Amino acid sequence: MKYSIKAGAADKINSECEIVFVWAKGILSDEAKLLDAAANKVISKVIKAGDFNGNLAETSLIHQPQGLSAKRVLLVGAGLKTKFNGKSAIKAIRAAYRVTQSLPATGLHFAIASVTVTDRDSSWLTSRLAEEGESSYYRYTATKSKNAKAPATKTVSISPINGGQRKSLDSALKRGFALGKAINVAKELGNLPGNVCTPSYLAEQAKQLGDKNKSITTQILGEKQMQRLGMGSLLSVSAGSAEEAKLIVMQYKGAKADSRPYAIVGKGVTFDTGGISLKGGNGMDEMKYDMCGAASVVATMGCVAELKLPINIVGIVGAVENMPGSKATKPGDVVTSMSGLTIEILNTDAEGRLVLCDALTYTERFNPRSVIDIATLTGAAVATFGSHVTALLSNNDDLASEIIGCGTDCADPAWQLPMWDEYQSLLNSNFADIANIGGPRAGTITAACFLSRFAEKFNWAHLDIAGSAWVSGAEKGATGRPVPLLVEYLSNQKA
């Protein structure tokens, strides 16, 4: 969709659907008052009749209001004005887009210039309107023979909120649009089936990203190259699959060549059967989402290129398929990682860490300022946080605090778990330097402890997105997280 800033009195706006907020108990926003006065109190009548109260995310659509240029007016409840914070704003915006998706309206206008978000500024709200518009209108069609009718909306205009400067609001719109598109890229990669989105497919997407953006250079390493590098841990995961593993390296140059980069590293298990430690069949189809960490890295790299961030960034993806073939790694096998550490593989379904550890070692060559890895790593993270919060563990508390703050700012939250030395001993092995699992307890923490052995040379944080990367049930699908968190963090960094 196209987004623009459009000034003018709310009652004079010519739009196929004009959207205004109403506060709790039917208290009209300034824009709603203007529309109400010009349209013979049509909004007041709806409220007086008890059809609409202004509760948060409540909606009511008024067709063909007399006296207005708009063909429709959508009332959106904003709840208590004194409690209208960022979370409330997101709920209200999403409610508006849910309704407009089914309308034959090609153009929308958000008449919310007077709206104040208690903990955010006008640029944030403007950006969020574009981000949510793109994300809300995403449709998966890639493997369907007949596609559902696409939403009619082509344009969205927004009133200059709270007198914000036109230049900053235009910039905010562009940022929100770019971020919304990136979220959808991550959704699409996650939603594609495992027979389409293979390691080679991910590599091709990364190549295309480099072809489209002069600021990105993409390099793809195959299995022979990884063997020469000594990546025995990563290659042990792909050993049972006919699909060749790929190490995808994307370098974004937004600063001087000698400026140390920031690194993001994604787990890209394009389908995870569990290998010889075979998973149960119930819900195994959702293991196509085991590459959502990789999807977030690819999507984020595209977004930072569009935003032209003035820093250098390296995006690395370890892409494999985990299958129980005749050459598959067995429980009890010992492999040697790129770092030289030997690993006893007690469970082949704890494969993501085996991929990431070699990818993290490879990242050392870039001398990064910080490294964030992103992985759908443990069921324990789902048990701890559900789908709302991403688990965060780090060897640097300042880095962890910064990531938590960024998550709060962009409403893509993360929360830190401890990674104390007491947990490290759970990974002891009688037959190798380290075991790949630490027993039935503290699974998210011991998985991060494993990775920390390969991240000792840089400031590192681990995001376990097993709960936040996708949702199950009737609304099954990838969420695009944590692309907003990654973009927020990188946007705050300096060369």
Annotated catalytic residue within 353, 369, 453, 481: 353
Catalytic residue check, 353: yes
pLDDT score, position 4: 96
pLDDT score, position 13: 93
What confidence tens digit (pLDDT) does each residue in 249-295 have? 999 999 999 999 999 999 999 999 999 999 999 999 999 999 999 99
Enter the pTM of the model.
0.96
| Three state DSSP letters for the chain | CEEEECCCCHHHCCCCEEEEEEEHHHEECHHHHHHHHHCCCHHHHHHHCCCCCCCCCCEEEEECCCCCCCCEEEEEEEECHHHCCHHHHHHHHHHHHHHHCCCCCCEEEECCCCCCCCCCCHHHHHHHHHHHHHHHCCCCCCCCCCCCCCCCCCEEEECCHHHCCHHHHHHHHHHHHHHHHHHHHHHHHHHCCCCCCCHHHHHHHHHHHHHHCCCEEEEEECHHHHHHHCCHHHHHHHCCCCCCCEEEEEEEECCCCCCCCEEEEEEEEEEECCCCCCCCCCCHHHHHHHHHHHHHHHHHHHHHHHHCCCCEEEEEEEEEEECCCCCCCCCCCEEECCCCCEEECCCCCCCHHHHHHHHHHHHHHHCCCCEEEEECCCHHHHHHHCCCCEEEEECCHHHHHHHHHHHHHHCCCEEECCCCHHHHHHHCCCCCCEECCCCCCCHHHHHHHHHHCCCCCCCEEEEECCCCCEECHHHCEECCCCHHHHHHHHHCCCC
pLDDT score, position 492: 97
pLDDT bin (cut points 50, 70, 90) of residue 411 is very high
Catalytic residue check, 94: no
pLDDT score, position 149: 84
What confidence tens digit (pLDDT) does each residue in 83-124 have? 999 999 999 999 999 999 999 999 999 999 999 999 999 999
pLDDT score, position 16: 97
**Structural domains of the chain, with CATH:** 2-183 (3.40.220.10), 197-491 (3.40.630.10)
Annotated catalytic residue within 71, 91, 253, 279: 279
